[in-house]
Amino acid sequence: MFQNRELSEQRRSRPYALCMSDVCCQAINSVGAGHILEGETMPNALGNMPQRTQSTHSGISPLAGKPAPREMLVDLIRLEKEYFDRKPDLEDPNQRVTFGTSGHRGTSLNGSYTEAHILAITQAICDYRRTKGTSGPLYMGKDTHALSAPAQRTALEVLAANNVDTIVQEKDGVTPTPVISRAILAFNRERQAPRADGIVITPSHNPPEDGGFKYNPPHGGPADSEATRWVQDRANDLLRAGNRDVKRIPYEKATKAPSTRQGDLVLPYVRDLKNVVDMDAVRDAGLKVAVDPLGGAARPYWEPINSIYGLDITVTNPTIDATFSFMTVDHDGKIRMDCSSPYAMARLVTLKDQYQLAFANDPDSDRHGIVTPSAGLMNPNHFLAVAIRYLLTNRPEWNAQSAVGKTLVSSSMIDRVVEKFGRQLREVPVGFKWFVSGLIDSSICFGGEESAGASFLRRDGTVWTTDKDGLIMALLAAEITARSGKDPGLHYRELTTEFGNPFYVRIDAPASPEQKQKLQKLSPGSVKESKLAGEPITAKLTHAPGNDAPMGGLKVVAKSGWFAARPSGTENIYKIYAESFKGESHLDSLLNEAQDIVGNALSQS
């Protein structure tokens, strides 16, 4: 376990000393002096393990915030060749199907995402649909990652062979996650049966070499644990049998099958936006707005939005390039289309004073990044708090009894806002699946994650999407600016004046699979300490207060701050989240004591 002095020195240097270029400095400073950037790496509190490569002593790559060098770009020809040619080694657990809430992710370059995987997963989804009696259309979307198009072709061969009525965007177009969610709900709203569901082919904001494949059941949101485990187990059984039980027809035949339909998914979504965001207010204010789709699936949506609603939104980066060569490098030296990262968003941040508002989405458009003249790139927690305050005071048709949903590791600023307006707070584990049922029945009016993902109800108080929607969050920022005359950054300053100025951090630390498993199984009794950063501990949580679901980690709360620790589901790291309402030195103490508390709890388990 590292020493307190080491951490304090590391953190004191962060706001400026980690900048490796002027652009990077602007990006970091825009988050707010004194506030700590999320997603940093730190020495391992669980034992002596090597740090990530390509990083400075502080965990930041010297390339962070700079344009991606040519030698970093993925070889698209090799990537696709490996997808079709490589056979997964099922003796390696990393090459089996791991199908979580976000589906299966991997890359063909290491055998974790190949045609064999997609054949097995798609057949497993077909089999799962049959067990549930799901016989309506399956809406299938994909993003702009290089492996998404070949995976869609593979999936279509299996879906057609299984006579699944499949709807895809016409002209081989791309479709964001929220558009698929909305399409499923719109179809199912009109009938009890047959029920629609969907597939989205995306690894979200992951690097260009990655692929992803996820399933949205008839409720339109992320699949729950029962569904994902069923699909995972069935897919791995199919793989072990050499995919002999996978039904498949050639792609040319699949595209002409009666069950395969092409349609326009863009305009129905765009035309419906007026029912969730006050588009008239945005138009009437004449806002000058910029958007960077980060080369993702939202790119084809902004021109129709401009045209239909008469808006002035400039697409600052219209490029779609599967290498994502236009990106600036993320904190760890990788290309990552993370619209909440000041390093990945460095280009758009430099434009903050040229527009009244700017925003971006990740490749499947389920996340948002908001850039304002007053604050630069807003911390996701900050905008969530602003959005919640605005919506609770500007949606008169919403049920006054509906709750606000947040994840356990989101800022406590949200708690204070929700309490002020007399609303119930529903605090759940990490994962948007926990908001699905509440959004459907409108018992939750807003659900948001600290990782810049959220959705909210239509203006009439009914469900919009049950998956995260980065486009409506971006357009909500425009509505807030249009109707109040102040950008969201200024709104957040008002919140800090009223409730205090929180300091929030998320840090990643290496952890072995065994250590991650121990962390998941901790109980409140594992924590023997009675104080946190000088204050009595008021709560020791391993289950979420909002639904009593296991959080897969630990959260410890005191009056002026808290920390949470949970293992990553996709990497050999664990994540520590901490927040202080007393200042940066108090946050230092929280982080230091968090390491000790977690280490002590694990040593006793």
Residues marked active site are found at: 204
Question: Reduced to 3 states, what is the DSSP secondary structure of residue 550?
Answer: strand
Which residues, in sequence order, are CB contacts of 407 under 8 Å at separation 6+?
427, 428, 429, 430, 431, 434, 448, 449, 450
Q: For residue 483, count CB atoms less than 10 angstroms from its CB and return exposed for 0-12, middle for 13-18, buried for 19 or more.
A: middle
Question: Reduced to 3 states, what is the DSSP secondary structure of residue 216?
Answer: strand
Strands of the sheet containing 376-377, edge to edge, are 312-315, 288-292, 357-361, 368-372, 376-377
Q: Which of 235, 247, 201, 213 is nearest to 88 (CA)?
A: 235
Cα separation, 526 vs 101, whole angstroms = 28
Question: Reduced to 3 states, what is the DSSP secondary structure of residue 200?
Answer: strand
Cis upstream peptide for 194 (omega within 30°): yes
- How far CA 295 is from CA of 174, 270, 289, 475, 553, in Å, comes to 11, 19, 18, 18, 35
Task: Give the per-residue SS3 of 235-252.
Answer: HHHHHHCCCCCCCCCCHH
Q: Which stretches of 470-569 are assigned E, i.e. beta strand?
A: 503-510, 531-532, 535-543, 550-558, 561-567
Helix crossing, 225-240 with 115-132: angle to 10°? 130
Helix crossing, 488-499 with 413-420: angle to 10°? 80
**Residues 595 and 542 sit within 8 Å (Cβ to Cβ):** no
Which residues, in sequence order, are CB contacts of 56 under 8 Å at separation 6+?
18, 62
Question: Reduced to 3 states, what is the DSSP secondary structure of residue 316?
Answer: coil
Task: Residue 251: count other Cβ atoms within 10 Å of its Cβ.
Answer: 15
Task: Give the per-residue SS3 of 283-312.
Answer: HHHCCEEEEECCCCCCHHHHHHHHHHHCCE
DSSP track, 248-269: ---HHHHHTSTTEEEE--HHHH
Q: Which helix (H) or strand (E) holds 142?
A: strand 138-142
Which residue type occupies 519? L
Q: Which of 475, 478, 441, 443 is nearest to 178 (CA)?
A: 475
Q: Which of 155, 322, 353, 362 is nearest to 246 (CA)?
A: 155
